[in-house]
Structure 1
Amino acid sequence: METVDVIVIGAGVSGLAAARLIARGGRRVVVIEARDRVGGRVHTDRSGGHITDRGASWIHGIHESPVAAAARAFGMPMVEFTVGGYQPDSRPLTYFDARGRRLEADAVRQYAADIRTLNAALAKIIAGAGAEATYGDAVERALAEQDWDAERKERVREYNDRRAQEQYGVGMGELGAHGLDDDTVNGDEVVFPRGYDELATNLAAGLDVRLEHLASQVDRSSEGVTVVTDRGVFRARQVVITVPVGVLQAGDLLIEPPLPETHRRALGLLRMNAFEKVVLRFAERFWDAGVYGIRQLGDEGEWWHSWYDLGRLHDEPALLTFAAGPAAVATRTWADEDIVASTMAQLRRLYGDTVPDPTSAIVTRWQDDPFSRGSYAFMLPGSVGADHDDLAEPVDGVLHLAGEATWGDDPATVPGALLSGHRAAQNVLGIDIPVSELWA
């Protein structure tokens, strides 16, 4: 048995942030990680001479973002790419209508104006929504207030459903009414041409990280904690657990005694989503230069409605699309080539049969990853933002939970994960620490 001061389970951004600050506070820390790499759901693929972020891609607004500040300090280049928040018109987008025809500029402006009108009505409705209301319920109430014809309403209804899917990997009828409360973009959105995993690598520098150590049990008492792994047993005064919600709910990590009722209730109001990336690379561009993305309206876009031009990162003909929510669930058992063929059929519908096959494709499989069981957490009906923070309340002074799902102000994001690790470190050390100490 190995004894340290603090054990951190999980070497994702939250775990590394917590461990880095705790170690700087003078405690001996060991980080237990089941994977053969650090980063967790921040994972950059460098195969085939390309750089592809399989997990997190964007900072959704760099204004006052701790991740943006860390990236600058660590010398990580950033490229502006402000469409990741599913905005209707913040940057140039090529729109196609339900028949596959390009929308003229005036039609796009009217469409975006309708979306903003509904968003203003939605804010008031959601503020007064009952605990069990869904985001879909709120959208329908807001649409009922508008003096629009059926087609106009359907396009805005469709937008909100696809926004829910692309932001949280679930349809608006399954998402809690407050599930998009945090969905705001403060400043430009940016991506990382050298890969988002540089953040994790920099945070991990100098830490004692034990890779390929699968933790199966955490036992706590007034004297401390014992963590059982497949490579030995560790003992410490405190533990910070940063595994995703899906792993906690699956029982893959047994916690004894069980978490308190407050924590179990909050955990029960969250679910891991179904959200996968499809990255297509081509020999040459067939879409318009200068656009940030392509969107199609109507039933044909039920699964594949948005493609984003990755040429902004690496000056190569490449598109990113998402299998989100129903599409991710329906295609979960499909072979990669069948998923690629499905999205290519829609691109050819819009651009013609001469559109070539991609030269390479990457399809992610976060739903089947045993160490995440999904991409990130979303809120079920009945949940509010404060439920995220309930998960982070220290237990018996020895057990702390962190991770994107424990940060109520900005869940499901890398900044949320980083800030949750910072909070856990403060709770462990019992002192206030400037978050900037992570990159000082």
Structure 2
Amino acid sequence: MASYDTIVIGMGAAGTTAASMLAKAGKRVLGLDAQDRIGGRVNTVPFGDGVVELGAEWIHGTRPSPVYDLAIQNNVSVIEQDISMEVFMSDGSLADKELVNELLNFCLQVVDDPPPTPGPLGQHITKKLMDYIKDKHPSLLNDQAFIQEFLSFMDLMVDNYEATDSWNDITTESRYEELEGHQHVSWHKNGYKTLFEILLNTYKNGPGLPTLTIKLKTEVSQIVWPQDPEAKVVVKCKDGAEYTADNVIVTVSVGVLKERHTALFSPPLPQKKADAIATLTMGLLGKIILLFPDPWWPKDHSFYGFLWRPEDKKNITEDTWAFRLIAASNPMGCKNALTMWTNGEVGRLVS
């Protein structure tokens, strides 16, 4: 039974960071992941003339950001991506870009100004938006069809940020703090995978970390954590292998914990942690990435939003899931690709 100072279960961003920091400090570390790759929800793949991100797309904020700092310290070029939208109506015409982006930015700012009494986020944004329209664009009140469609669009945008089915599933109460600096910094053709190469000291043919061992396609079946602080933790794997360590760091997703924590930990987790796992929700954000021989979309934008007219919606009785495609974007790592963004129920459907 091989023994280590620390075993890290799950080699996504959190797990790889923990494993690399401990290995750089001279600790003997074993990293285990059930997938055939490291990265977790970061998954850069070759596509067309470059790469696309099946998972995380951007560095959100640059100050203070250890991710952004690592890129700069290693001379990796990263590019700020403008995500202001060109918005198309369902009949192919262009919507009022300035108006839509103004209302969109206002709604996103409302999120940062919660009411004293917590409530559903969607209801709060709707009230604030209607007050704003009455004050700044009173003539728009005559176009209720546009307002209702914009509210539907905004619901999808918030769901896109929060990975939820509805913006009313989210409370206005939040402790989230946005980092300073640009919120959409792209790794472009370098790919987000570069972060993991830097962490593991393999970037530009680096030698790696000699005290870190990584085993992929290794699913953990049980973690036996002793109540005696002097005893070692035993990690049992589905392939029959067992490993021991002084410490084990578990970084698997909430979804995995929801499904398996009762069987994964022996003895069971304290009730407080079990209750937290049960209470937390697991959302979904989906991408449909299309490759074309040549780019045919407008080149002065990289994001394109969609607003449906009520009469056009009525004419579509099949494939109504398309109504919940929020937007399309041109990933900076592949000039001939378009990413269609979706979430929630439709994200589960198309996956």
Smaller-chain TM-score range?
A: 0.7 to 0.9
- Which residue of the other structure, out of 102, 107, 110, is the alignment partner of 1:113? 102
Q: Matches of 2:300 and 2:173 in 1, distance apart?
A: 33
The residue identity in structure 2 corresponding to 1:239 is V
Equivalent residue number for residue 200 of structure 1: 196
Looking at structure 2, the residues matched to 174 and 117 of structure 1 have their Cα atoms a distance apart, in angstroms, of 18
| Correspondence list, 1:137-152, <5 A | 137-143=123-129, 145-146=131-132, 147=134, 149=141, 150-151=144-145
Stretch deviating more after TM superposition (256-265 or 243-252): 256-265
Provide closer, same or farther for how the CA distance between residues 49 and 308 of structure 1 changes in structure 2, counting only shifts above 3 A: closer
What per-residue deviation string (whole Å, max 9, x for no partner) do you get for residues 164-186 of structure 1?
Answer: 22212323345321487638463
Is 1:305 matched up with 2:301?
Answer: no
Larger radius of gyration: 2
Shift of 1:258: 2.0
Report whether the alignment pairs 1:157 with 2:157.
no
Match of 1:172 among 166, 172, 192: 166
Return the alpha-carbon distance in structure 1 between the equivalents of residues 345 and 169 of structure 2.
Answer: 13
Change (3 A) 1:115 1:164: closer
Amino acid at match of 1:317: N
Q: Percent identity?
A: 24
Between Structure 1 and Structure 2, how many residues are aligned? 316
| Aligned counterpart for 2:218 among listed residues 201, 205, 213 | 213
**CA distance, structure 1, for counterparts of residue 180 and residue 87 of structure 2:** 25
What SS does the corresponding residue of 1:20 show, helix, strand or coil?
Answer: helix
What is the CA distance between 1:136 and its match in structure 2?
2.2
Q: Cα deviation per residue 1:260-284 (whole Å; 9 max; x = unaligned)?
A: 2332232223222222211112122
**Correspondences of 1:287-298 after superposition (within 5 Å):** 287-298=297-308
Supply the distance in 1 between the matched residues of 2:78 and 2:218 (Cα, whole angstroms).
Answer: 33
2:116 match: 128
Alignment of 1:100 onto 2:82: no
In structure 2, the gaps of 5 or more residues are 201-207, 314-321
2: CA distance, partners of 1:267 / 1:120? 30
Query: Could you list the per-position Cα deviations for residues 368-411 of structure 1 after superposition, in whole angstroms to 9, with x for gaps in the alignment?
Result: xxxxxxxxxxxxxxxxxxxxxxxxxxxxxxxxxxxxxxxxxxxx
List gaps (5 residues or longer) in structure 1. 84-88, 333-440
Structure 1 pair 118–307 and aligned structure 2 pair: CA distance change class (3 A): closer
Q: Is the 8 A contact 1:7 1:30 kept in 2?
A: yes
TM-score (norm 2): 0.80
Structure 1 residues 63 and 82, CA gap change in structure 2 (3 angstroms): farther
Amino acid at match of 1:112: N
RMSD: 2.6
1:118/1:273 CA distance change after superposition, 3 Å:
closer
- Indicate how the Cα distance of structure 1 residues 214 and 71 shifts in structure 2: closer, same or farther if over 3 A, else same: same
Q: Is the 8 A contact 1:39 1:201 kept in 2?
A: no
1:247 Cα deviation (Å)?
Answer: 0.5
What are the residue-to-residue correspondences of 1:240-251 with 2, within 5 Å? 240-251=249-260
- The answer to whether residue 267 in structure 2 is matched with residue 262 in structure 1 is no
**Counterpart position of 2:236:** 228
Decide whether aligned partners of structure 1 residues 218 and 322 sit closer, same or farther in structure 2, where only a CA change above 3 A counts.
Answer: same
Structure 1 121/174 Cα, relative in aligned 2: closer, same or farther at 3 Å?
A: closer
Alignment of 1:351-362 (within 5 A): none
Q: TM-score, normalised by structure 1?
A: 0.65
Contact 2:48 2:337 (8 Å CA) reproduced: no
Q: Contact 1:134–1:175 (CA<8 Å) still a contact in 2?
A: yes
**Partner deviation per Cα, 1:179-211 (whole Å, 9 max, x = no partner):** 876384632222121211121123233121122
Change (3 A) 1:194 1:328: same
Q: Tell whether the 8 Å contact from 2:157 to 2:326 is kept in structure 1 after alignment.
A: no
